[in-house]
Structure 1
């Protein structure tokens, strides 16, 4: 798919189609929420920026994230070291970045719209619980469990049962993270937007749903391809 945005694209339409571009607009102080109903060229001009530079940055985001949900069936024949390295680079690092960048948006929407939409207060609570759980989970994987799996792969491990027990624990943590995401989807009625949803409101729902997809692919690669090799 070719790069779909031009200088004539509306700022809000760019964010709606590719929510990750909101990070660029926020960095450049371009209003994609209340003032997003204008062409990119006009928004860039108002900020005294160069349109070609902004389009190039948007293109980089597009190329990085358009194929985010890669078909992981190709990993069934890969060795465990390759899978682990891929998980760290494409799921751990990406998830860490997204959790950090999305957090202030979730806070803002819950604060501004929570009175009229109390489900957003629950979304805020669940998101922060999910953030804490996933960050701790990924840290444990990298510090403890992945090194054990690498030893299993090489046949150099002294206590195989310890590694298996750790893997079982990771699967339980996957279930916990998945349950939190399911609760978020449930209380948002499958991310259905109310009529008064502003741009940031729409952004939060779009990125939460994308985060759900990213997490489920992460879990799929581990639970269904990597871990069963040693269970």
Structure 2
């Protein structure tokens, strides 16, 4: 799975090359972009979603009686994490290996599916922002609630950049 994609290309990427700046100025090749996406985004999402879910469950339990309580946030985050895991698996097992082999005449179909799933994630992020009042904790919020808001804001920023990098940079190598 993830390990297979990491080792699929012959030339290892240097850590200094794995930067968003390099990706944005298009100086990274396809293997470098994929490695960046795997390490900067896929691994990060897998690490950070469980903590955000834990924080949301705690805030919802402790502050259930408060009007500002983000009711349903833990379930929404769990849904997002599950949906994202399936998406990332499809990239890691199908799309990225295909890209590392130089593409295919049929590559437009999996890219189209990934882009459609990205639009679904945009809708999920809009719901996340609504549940967290645009990532703002109420005045006097406890440390856990503040940490939850920070975690949700980071997930939003990271997912948005992740999708932009794939849609506007990586996928364009195969759609142009």
2:70 match: secondary structure? helix
Alpha-carbon deviation of 1:115? 2.7
2:67 aligns with: 117
User: Do structure 1's residue 145 and structure 2's residue 145 form an aligned pair?
Assistant: no
Task: State which of 43, 46, 55 in structure 2 corresponds to 1:105.
Answer: 55
Q: 2:148 aligns to what?
A: 204
- TM-superposed deviation, 1:133: 1.0
Q: Could you give the per-residue CA deviations for residues 9-63 of structure 1, whole angstroms, max 9, x where no partner exists?
A: xxxxxxxxxxxxxxxxxxxxxxxxxxxxxxxxxxxxxxxxxxxxxxxxxxxxxxx
Write the distance in 1 (CA, Å) between the matches of 2:113 and 2:120. Answer: 11
Once the two structures are superposed, the pairs formed by residues 62-141 of structure 1 within 5 Å of their partners are: 70-71=20-21, 72-74=23-25, 76-117=26-67, 119-141=69-91
Residue 186 of structure 1, CA deviation: 2.3
1:157-176 paired onto structure 2 within 5 Å: 157=104, 160-161=105-106, 163-176=107-120
Cα pair 2:59 2:69 within 8 Å, conserved: no
Q: CA deviation at 1:207?
A: 0.9
Q: Normalising by the residue count of structure 2, what TM-score does the alignment of the two structures yield?
A: 0.81
Q: Which residue does 2:10 correspond to in 1?
A: none
For residues 88-114 of structure 1, give each alpha carbon's deviation from its aligned partner in whole angstroms, at most 9, with x where no partner exists: 111111111111222211111111112
Q: State how far apart, in whole Å, the 2-side matches of 1:99 and 1:187 are.
A: 16
Rg larger for: 1
| SS in structure 1 of the partner of residue 72 of structure 2 | helix
Structure 2 unaligned residues grouped into runs of 5+: 1-18
Distance (Å, rounded) in 2 between the aligned partners of 1:214 and 1:70 = 11
Q: What is the CA-CA distance between 1:197 and the residue it aligns to?
A: 1.4
TM-score (norm 1): 0.63
1:213 aligned residue: 157
CA RMSD of aligned residues (A): 1.8
Distance 1:151 1:102, change over 3 A: same
Q: How many residues align?
A: 156
**Higher normalized contact order (CA 8 Å, seq sep 6+, divided by chain length):** 2
